[in-house]
């Protein structure tokens, strides 16, 4: 089955990453980083299908050598926390044969990135035959017509109502940073994701495959099943070795639950379709005596046959059908049709509850994850606040990302603290536990509904076997029923 995966992240020196090391690892090559003198040798790394570097027309031709390219990037970036490259990772549908991978990736990169002026360094990996994928490293700086690196951003002064620059108490002019290119725009992520799904689907269509991928979430597609969670590298490697992980178990449970929901949906859909077809027939549904038909089937089971096992099995099934019509007061086909509609409505109500609960659980999980991150960076911010003078400036230069991250997360907590500036993580944990119980209740409801659908299907089977075309229904007395 073709799957969609398209992730975007930054390779930043501030997070201890190197563009040279990243390119060497992804391409399985050996490159020395001139910025810090470290040699990165990944020539013995397996699973590299192919690699390529794509240049816009005005880029220096020597940048086709990834060692020259990424060393040039490392040297032009002076900041200790500089963003060196953008990386996009995509999964290649395994239905597409390997001889097309390089061509399709080059086409995608040229039309989406190189055309905009970026240099693309792509490496296709196929170590796991079930997970072919491609790493695309993109340059962050524009290249000028003369082949030199351009600026990522420019300073733009903020003006007052009279059009004059605003002086700060420090003596500097108030300004803001403006990107020279729109490559960092969040809108690009949606465009690139959509283009990747369209690109893959075109290849799948040309190959005659029925499979398609979609960059939209299940919710946006109108699919009401629960999506699986991302395994991550370590969990994926453990699962491949046959070692079960918590995340893997969660995905297996989600898969089983979604499968069960699909089965129930198919069964209730068939009942609804049968009900509509009956309404289209020239029968008076009010005069079709369902109760008499099921009772007749029960009484027929009293006849002795050679296969005792089949007799008992049939008796149990027919008894279940009788229990269904008795419990729900079903006399006529009209009553039975209404009950099928009720079962259908119950199914969609439960399914809607499951999805709503799952979304709340994901929201809490994300909150707890951010809180864990906050706990790690807030001591750094506190230490920074205690420093003065040059020590404070040097500390900020070294920990700018963590200090700014504290402020970003502070805005997030403001939404949950109700103005009290106090976060009660235990309440989140309690709510998460309560939601798990709600989800268990939903699963119990689904099982009960599945049982009811099975009983309704047995009633339907009895009615079909007897080909009901009753004009005057037989009168049933309670004493006729012996179970």
More reliable by pLDDT, 249 or 378: 378
The most distant pair of C-alpha atoms in the chain lies apart, rounded to whole Å, by: 104
More reliable by pLDDT, 164 or 175: 164
Cβ atoms of 151 and 77 closer than 8 Å: no
Q: Which of 97-111, 112-126, 356-370, 426-440 has the lowest mean pLDDT?
A: 356-370
pTM of the predicted model, to two decimals?
0.50
Rounded-to-integer distance, Cα 105 and Cα 90, Å: 10
CA-based end-to-end distance of the chain = 49
**Which structural domains are found in the chain, ordered by start?**
6-154+189-215 (3.30.930.30), 283-483 (no CATH)
Residues 48-72 have pLDDT tens digits of 999 999 999 999 999 999 999 999 9
pLDDT given for residue 303 in this prediction: 45
Element (H, E) at 177: strand 175-179
- Site of tokens 């013995």: 44
3-class SS of residue 50: strand
Residues 6+ apart with CB under 8 A from 406: 374, 377, 378, 380, 381
Can you list the alpha helix ranges (DSSP code H) found in 115-245?
186-206, 218-221, 233-240
3-class SS of residue 124: strand
User: Which one-letter DSSP state was computed for residue 100?
Assistant: G
pLDDT band at 324 (very low <50, low <70, confident <90, very high): confident
């Amino acid at each position: 089955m073709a799957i969609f995966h398209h992730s975007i992240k930054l390779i930043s020196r501030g997070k201890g990453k190197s563009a040279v090391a990243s390119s060497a690892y992804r391409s399985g090559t050996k490159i020395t980083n001139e910025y810090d003198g470290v040699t990165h040798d990944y020539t013995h790394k397996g699973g590299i299908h192919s690699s390529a570097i794509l240049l816009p027309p005005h880029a220096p031709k020597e940048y086709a050598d990834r060692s020259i390219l990424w060393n040039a990037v490392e040297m032009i970036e002076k900041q200790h926390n500089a963003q060196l490259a953008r990386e996009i990772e995509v999964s290649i549908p395994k239905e597409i044969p390997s001889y097309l991978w390089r061509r399709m990736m080059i086409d995608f990169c040229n039309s989406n990135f190189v055309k905009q002026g970026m240099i693309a360094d792509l490496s296709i990996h196929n170590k796991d035959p079930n997970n072919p994928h491609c790493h695309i490293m993109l340059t962050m700086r524009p290249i000028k017509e003369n082949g030199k690196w351009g600026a990522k951003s420019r300073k733009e002064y903020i003006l007052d109502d009279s059009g004059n620059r605003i002086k700060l108490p420090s003596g500097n002019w108030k300004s803001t940073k403006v990107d020279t290119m729109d490559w960092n725009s969040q809108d690009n992520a949606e465009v690139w994701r959509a283009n990747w799904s369209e690109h893959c689907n075109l290849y799948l269509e040309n190959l005659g495959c029925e499979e398609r991928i979609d960059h939209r979430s299940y919710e946006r597609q109108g699919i009401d099943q629960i999506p699986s969670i991302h395994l991550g590298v370590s969990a994926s490697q453990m699962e491949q070795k046959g070692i079960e992980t918590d995340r893997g178990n969660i995905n297996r449970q989600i898969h089983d639950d979604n499968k069960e929901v699909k089965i129930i949906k198919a069964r209730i859909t068939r009942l609804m379709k049968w009900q509509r077809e009956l309404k289209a027939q020239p029968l008076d549904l009010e005069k079709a005596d369902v109760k008499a038909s099921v009772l007749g089937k029960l009484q027929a089971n009293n006849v002795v046959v050679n296969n005792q096992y089949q007799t008992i099995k049939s008796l149990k099934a027919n008894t279940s059908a009788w229990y269904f019509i008795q419990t729900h007061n079903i006399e006529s086909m009209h009553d039975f049709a209404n009950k099928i509609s009720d079962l259908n409505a119950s199914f969609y109500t439960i399914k809607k509850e499951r999805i709503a609960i799952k979304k709340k659980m994901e929201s809490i999980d994300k909150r707890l994850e951010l809180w864990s991150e906050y706990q790690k960076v807030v001591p750094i911010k506190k230490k920074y606040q205690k420093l003065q003078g040059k020590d404070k400036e040097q500390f900020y230069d070294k920990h700018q990302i963590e200090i700014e991250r504290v402020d970003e997360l502070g805005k997030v907590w403001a939404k949950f603290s109700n103005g009290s500036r106090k976060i009660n993580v235990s309440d989140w944990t309690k709510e998460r536990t309560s939601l798990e119980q709600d989800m268990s209740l939903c699963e119990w409801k689904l099982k009960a509904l599945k049982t009811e659908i099975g009983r309704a299907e047995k009633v339907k089977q009895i009615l079909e076997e007897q080909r009901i075309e009753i004009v005057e229904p037989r009168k049933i007395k309670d004493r006729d029923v012996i179970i």
